[in-house]
Every structure is written in C-alpha cells, then in structure tokens.
Amino acid sequence: MTYRFKTSLKWSSLTPRMDYMNRRQVLAGVGAMALTAMVSPSVAKIAAKASAFSTDEKPNTLEEITNHNNFYEFGTSKSDPAQHAHQLTTDPWSVKIGGLVDKPGNYDLADVVKGVDMEERIYRFRCVEGWSMVVPWIGFELATLLNRVGVQSGAKYVAFETLHRPEEMPFQNSPQFPWPYVEGLRLDEAMNPLSILATGLYGEEMPKQNGAPLRLVVPWKYGFKSIKSIVGITLLSEMPPTTWNNIGPNEYGFYSNVNPDVSHPRWSQASERRLGGGIFAKRQPTLMFNGYGDEVASLYDGMDLRVNY
Ligand code: MTE
C-alpha cells in the first residue's frame, strides 16, 4: 500500500485477555453444541460453535486486534479506526443483495443472520504490508447466505461494497480514495467453506474498527480482500473492480492470495511480523495460501499465480 508503516503502539504495554482461554476451553468442551448467549450489560455475547477450521495458534489479544487496524474510511494510520470508528451507526443496518440471484432485496441484518450457524473461526490473518495476527472471528459461511438467496447459473463472481457515509466516516471526505471501498471474489472462492461473513470476534459483537456489523474474512488472501462494514453484495458474470487494484494495478491483483514466492514490487512477501511478539521478535516465514493450501490450492489448479497475483 502506498503509505509508510507506522509503529505508534507499544505492544509490550498491552496485556492479553485472561478470560479468553477459559472461554476457549469451554468451547472446546461443548464441541459442536451451541453455547447459550450470555448477555453482558455493555456488549452482546454471540453464541458460537467451535470449528475444525480453527488454528491452534495463540490468538492475538483483543487489545492488539482492535488497536492496529486498516480501515481507511476513518483515516490512514493504524490507530485512526480505534479512535474514530465509534462514530459509525451500525443499527439499523441492511445489505442490498442483487445481480444474478433468485431473491434480490434489501435485507435487514437480522434477516441476513437469521438461522445461520454461528461459528468461532480462529484464523491466521496476513496483511499485504507484512504483519500478521491470529483472530478468533465469530461468523458464518458466506456460502450459506449465497445459497439462501439463490445464485443463478450465469454468476461467476461476487462483488462487495462498504457503506459510503462521509458524515460518519471522516476520511471518505478525502478525494484521495475511490470511495466506496469495493472488493470481489470468484464464485468458487466465495463458496469455499473458509470464506466467512464475520459479525464478531472474541465471542462478542464486531468492534466497529474491525468492520461492524458485517465483514468478509478470506484467510488465504491478503487482508485487504476482507472488506469491512458491507452494505452491498452483487453476483456478476464479469470480474468486478476492486479498490486496491484500482489504486495500484501492478501492486495489488484481483486474486491477492498470500504467496511467499511472489514479492510485492516494493517488498518481499517471504516473511511476516506477527503482532504482539515485541520489537525484537523474529519474523516468521509466510506460508503459501497463508497455510490454508489443503483447503484452497485446488481452486487455482492450472493457473499461473505470478500472472494472477
Ligand atoms: N475494508 C474497508 N471497508 N476499508 C478498509 O480500509 N482495509 C483492509 C481490510 N478491509 C479496509 C477494509 C485491509 S488493508 C486490511 S489489512 C484489513 O481490512 C484489516 O482488518 P483489521 O483492521 O480487522 O485487522
């Protein structure tokens, strides 16, 4: 991305969330059974099942996940979203689903999530800038929603759009960016069970800086594919435009699969810095498809991933 990485946070001063491991043990214990929602006075807890797709790697702390964000609608520095995203109204919220679907409509968020199986998906998350985290998302498979609205046979791609509301998202007043933020997936990528629409993390509603109330998470792709605060989903026969590809077509491709062998034109993608390790922590090797090759490599059989970066 075309800005310089800023390290204004002192990771050493952040403390892990101690109650989390207890909750994880409870989740593991109940296996596939849903937990009953526990309602705290401030933040709604979300009942979710454990998932076989979750990694055993140690999740980053809530403090790390919510204070080091990319959400350009609120500014370009990593601390801007935590500072400004509280301005965003997320209720009411609706998602316009259209294009090549049987049941187009402007769906209230409550309808979008009605009857879905909420799962906790602990995923590695690799940003194209070279940092990574492990995030315990709560969400459901994107395929569930697409199947519910009925994908028509001509559909080959899914386009996503973020809310455009400059009065609440101050950086949308900047003409530097082609707002609204848009992203896209090929239909088979969208239907892969790893692709989720997330409504929360750490068992609670999605913090606004992480893309409340509904965001995409595609763990084998660079983080910018995981579009936040979605208000539009459109099924298309043609590949849709995407924000970072519009901004820098030779730096950010449509596919943007995590790939240690294909460097960004201005830096290597061979290794990454896991947030929370402290400033002296060694970088770790980046894995092909961010370590999700067993689940997704076959989607790209026969494709040259240097050309289709
Ligand atoms: N979605 C919107 N609408 N606006 C953004 O600026 N940034 C992307 C992605 N989704 C972005 C977005 C980038 S570059 C990354 S790395 C991830 O969100 C960051 O997600 P996180 O802040 O939850 O870690």
Task: Determine if ligand 1 sits within 6 Å of the CB of residue 256.
Answer: no
Model confidence band, residue 176 (pLDDT cutoffs 50, 70, 90) = confident
Which three-class secondary structure state does DSSP give residue 291? helix
Quote the longest CA-to-CA distance of the chain: 54
Task: Determine if ligand 1 sits within 6 Å of the CB of residue 172.
Answer: no
Q: What is the pLDDT, as a whole number, of residue 53? A: 98
Q: Inform me whether the pLDDT recorded for 177 exceeds 80.
A: yes
Q: Inform me whether the pLDDT recorded for 87 exceeds 70.
A: yes
Q: What is the pLDDT, as a whole number, of residue 10? A: 26
| Residue (of 191, 195, 204, 205) closest to 225 by Cα position | 195
- Using one digit for the tens of pLDDT, what is the confidence trace for 22-72? 434 334 433 433 343 344 445 678 999 999 999 999 999 999 999 999 999
What average pLDDT does the structure give for the chain? 89
Model confidence band, residue 286 (pLDDT cutoffs 50, 70, 90) = very high
Model confidence band, residue 1 (pLDDT cutoffs 50, 70, 90) = low
| Residue (of 205, 289, 276, 209) closest to 58 by Cα position | 276
Q: Inform me whether the pLDDT recorded for 229 exceeds 70.
A: yes
| Closest residue to atom 19 of ligand 1, CA basis | 70
Where do the domains of the chain lie, and which CATH numbers do they carry? 11-128+137-244 (3.90.420.10)
| Closest residue to atom 13 of ligand 1, CA basis | 224
- Using one digit for the tens of pLDDT, what is the confidence trace for 113-146? 999 999 999 999 999 999 999 999 999 999 999 9
Please state, as a whole number, how many other Cβ atoms lie within 10 Å of the Cβ of residue 257. 25
pTM over 0.85: yes
| Residue (of 136, 158, 162, 175) closest to 81 by Cα position | 162
